Copies of this chain bind each other. A is one copy, B any other.
Amino acid sequence: MLIRHDGKFGWDSIPVLAYKENGSIFKDVTRQILFEPQPDLSCQLRYFEVGPGGHTTLERHQHAHCVIVIRGEGEAFVGDQVERIGDKDVVIVPSMTWHQFRATRGKPLGFLCIVNGERDRPMLPSAKELGELERNPKIAAFIRS
């Protein structure tokens, strides 16, 4: 019932996993699952760490995210905004909202992410959707796909 932090963003008995198992486009991201859903608490808690220069997948989905940064800093694209994010900032990713996290500040970007245990699979942008996103120069300069 106690999962000790090792002082280095690892946790006792929690394996460091690949970010994704499929061929999505991402760079230098790891995943640790800190809590698996159960009937009395129906969400999953993960810790993702993006290495300096790395990024998560540009995607959207029906399920929402609640993210809390706990290591380093970087930038997040959510919806139509790109924002710097740092320690203990909370980022809400609403349903069906394009998003991507990048470790742009020469440091790792590590964050907790809460999701519903039952959730849909992420969708990647089509060429048309990507074109729409890229109409905004700030977004075009930020996203990696």
Chain B residues with Cβ under 8 A from A91's Cβ? 1-3
B40 touches A90 (CB 8 A): no
A95 touches B43 (CB 8 A): no
Which of B35, B42, B65, B89 touches A2 (beta carbons < 8 Å)?
Answer: B89
B1 touches A114 (CB 8 A): no
The answer to whether residues A45 and B64 also contact, given A35-B90, A87-B5, A114-B114 and a CB cut-off of 8 A, is no
Is A50 interfacial (CB-CB < 8 Å)?
Answer: no
Quickly give the copy total for this chain: 2
- A: contact size bracket: 35 or more
A89 touches B41 (CB 8 A): no
Q: Closest CB-CB distance, A11 to chain B, in whole Å?
A: 6
Interface string of A110-145 (1 = CB under 8 A from B): 001011100000000000000000000000000000
A90, B74: Cα distance in complex, Å:
24
| A binding-site residues for B, Cβ under 8 Å | 1-5, 9, 11, 34-35, 38-43, 45, 62-66, 68, 70, 76, 78-79, 81, 83, 85-95, 112, 114-116
Nearest 4 pairs of A and B residues by beta carbon: A5-B88, A41-B64, A3-B90, A40-B64
